[in-house]
Structure 1
Amino acid sequence: MSPASSPDLDYIWFMEGTLPPESSYDNQTDEDPSEDEEEDDDDDEEWSNVEEDDDNDDDGGDEKPTAKMKLVVVLSALLLLSLAAVSSAEEFDFFYLVQQWPGSFCDTKTGCCFPDTGKPATDFSIHGMWPNYAKCKTQGELDGVIEMVTKGKKKCWPEFCNSEPLQLWEIKDLVKELDANWPTLACKGGKSIEFWSHEWEKHGTCSDLGQHGYFAAALGLKARHNLTAVLADTGIVPSDSETYSLSSINDAIKEGTGFAAKLECNRGVAGEVQLYQVYQCVDRSGENLIDCPVPVQGNCKNRVQLPAF
């Protein structure tokens, strides 16, 4: 299928209560948070000792703040900001690993554009890994915590938990894998790094994995549970003429990965129902698929296509 004009994924809102709407764009840290707290406590003690030494040396005069005192203030402020980011990152229950079928993305009225690295493989590609709540929360439960996106009067997932931008040097060893497994199909310039940046800023900042850990976790899950191979093992392969029962797709995914998944469908240019995205539930470590703590019913019809790409 040839690339076309600008697509828009903002219509990904089909699930009631738990699935977040997603736009078309949507230093490795594996340390125990408790270890971070211990280190922070040590730092606080060290700097408090410095301040006490300065006080003891004070002869009572009105001296101007020293460079060391200013440094203490700056570092203390940075520490508080860091702790705030960590606490906000803990406000979720599980991830959705979301993979999209490129044939279904492109076979729409808006079409698609290939990235500057060329046409992606005929394979499910990563859309994102999104922190989510097992149960939507009321505004009252969240006041004073972090900003949340609203669905009705409840909050069902965190987003944009801090302002930390994606640093390419943090993931430089993953770029080749990301190009192959997490390409952009949006007609927004062909740079997949912009797609990755969007996903990190909107969703990754709400994890506690760090930039490298976040992307490495998603890549690892995709590699260990390859959906294209899982479906092909049961005879479900891309075709512009064949349709497949929804139950056969659900059964294939559950048998091949060990867990049920949510399925999202869209409509092709001719109005046919297509398997578009697969939502797999992942534990907070980002390492393991889990039974979804929310209902897995999607928006697909009884029979769907997996269009060629």
Structure 2
Amino acid sequence: MYAKKFVACFLTLLNFDFVQPTVLKEDHPFDLVIFTQFWPQTVCKEWKEHNPSHTCAMPAKKDSWTIHGVWPTKLGTKTPAFCNRTWLFDPEEVRPIEKDLLAMWPNIEVESAYTLWAHEWNKHGTCAAVLEPLNSQLKYFQQGLTWLQKYFIYDILKEANIVPSDNKEYRIEDIYQAVLKNVSVRPAIECDREHGGNFIVEVRLCFSKKLELVDCDGIAFHDMEEYGSILTNCNPNSGVYYLENAVPKTVYVQLYKLLSWLQWFTL
């Protein structure tokens, strides 16, 4: 009997609950929900640059943009996050859609998809759950899949003749206008700007709490600024690469030119 009382007290102190928690009110207010798509080739490039031994789990379809996350967001900040630390990701909750998640919401950087899904649910999903359409793990991840199919960035860019290439540069204005024309709201576009280059890595679309498309004005992620009408961190004075391969031929060409210049300079 005493042992049972001890265990009960211990669990209470740790704030554990064996009953699946239910969000009853919005204790962590937010303004909108950001839906973010990755371009896997750039994600993989960044991952390999951090450590040459890194490998990537690329989607089966080479032209697939994939989901990064569904993020409740208060304008001007990166909050809220981790709204219920006792409501942890459970793979069994998303088992009915696991096949689709593996195809459209894979973890590019490591082999285990569960790592990414757990992070996204624990950090963002527990906050999104105050909205009835997102109030379970299955609903949360299913909404991401639904949005990807409806607003697939590859198809949106292709309509504007913007397709992956290791050698061609695109204007950020053209990429922005292609998305704006399709969805009729202002997106946010993120580039990987390491080594002075512009490599498109993410496109973000924003939704109201009623899950209706809205402008992304006011979101605060990765030093984004407004360049004219464009919300982006990409350098507007340089072209943007939309990589066809994670290690583009362009990189080898630029490296060769740099080595040749260094050899000439040191003679």
Contact 1:90 1:207 in 2 (8 A): no
Evaluate the alpha carbon distance shift between residue 283 and residue 121 of structure 1 in structure 2; reply closer, same or farther with a 3 A threshold.
farther
Does 1:196 find its partner at 2:132? no
Which structure has the larger Rg?
A: 1
Contact 1:184 1:195 in 2 (8 A): yes
Return the alpha-carbon distance in structure 2 between the equivalents of residues 135 and 191 of structure 1: 32
Question: Which stretches in structure 1 are left out of the alignment for 5+ residues?
Answer: 1-73, 137-155
Where does residue 298 of structure 1 map in the other structure?
232
Q: Per-residue displacement from partner, 1:189-223 (whole Å, max 9, x unpaired)?
A: x1101110110001100012221111111111111
Where does residue 3 of structure 2 map in the other structure?
none
Report the structure, 1 or 2, having the larger strand content.
2
What TM-score results when the alignment is normalised by the length of structure 2? 0.70
Return the alpha-carbon distance in structure 1 between the equivalents of residues 31 and 196 of structure 2: 36
3-state SS of 1:169 partner: helix
Contact 1:89 1:205 in 2 (8 A): no
Does 1:185 find its partner at 2:123? no
User: Aligned letter for 2:99?
Assistant: K
Does 1:206 find its partner at 2:153? no
Where does residue 200 of structure 2 map in the other structure?
275
Using the TM superposition, give the Cα deviation of residue 259 of structure 1 relative to its aligned residue in structure 2, in angstroms.
1.6
Does 1:101 find its partner at 2:39? yes
Evaluate the alpha carbon distance shift between residue 120 and residue 200 of structure 1 in structure 2; reply closer, same or farther with a 3 A threshold.
farther
User: Aligned letter for 2:233?
Assistant: N
Contact 1:267 1:274 in 2 (8 A): yes
User: Aligned letter for 2:55?
Assistant: C
Return the alpha-carbon distance in structure 2 between the equivalents of residues 273 and 193 of structure 1: 30
Contact 1:121 1:180 in 2 (8 A): no
Does 1:173 find its partner at 2:96? yes
Displaced runs of 4 or more, over 6 A: none
User: Aligned letter for 1:114?
Assistant: C
Quote the RMSD (CA, aligned, Å). Answer: 2.8
Evaluate the alpha carbon distance shift between residue 260 and residue 298 of structure 1 in structure 2; reply closer, same or farther with a 3 A threshold.
same
Match of 2:148 among 196, 211, 222: 222
Return the alpha-carbon distance in structure 1 between the equivalents of residues 89 and 24 of structure 2: 17
Where does residue 51 of structure 1 map in the other structure?
none
Contact 2:191 2:201 in 1 (8 A): yes
User: Aligned letter for 1:284?
Assistant: K
3-state SS of 2:24 partner: helix
Where does residue 5 of structure 2 map in the other structure?
none
What TM-score results when the alignment is normalised by the length of structure 1? 0.61
Return the alpha-carbon distance in structure 1 between the equivalents of residues 29 and 107 of structure 2: 28
Where does residue 86 of structure 1 map in the other structure?
24
Match of 1:241 among 167, 174, 180: 167
Where does residue 27 of structure 1 map in the other structure?
none
Q: How many residues align?
A: 210
Contact 2:28 2:83 in 1 (8 A): no
Using the TM superposition, give the Cα deviation of residue 237 of structure 1 relative to its aligned residue in structure 2, in angstroms.
0.4
Contact 1:221 1:288 in 2 (8 A): no
Contact 2:44 2:109 in 1 (8 A): no
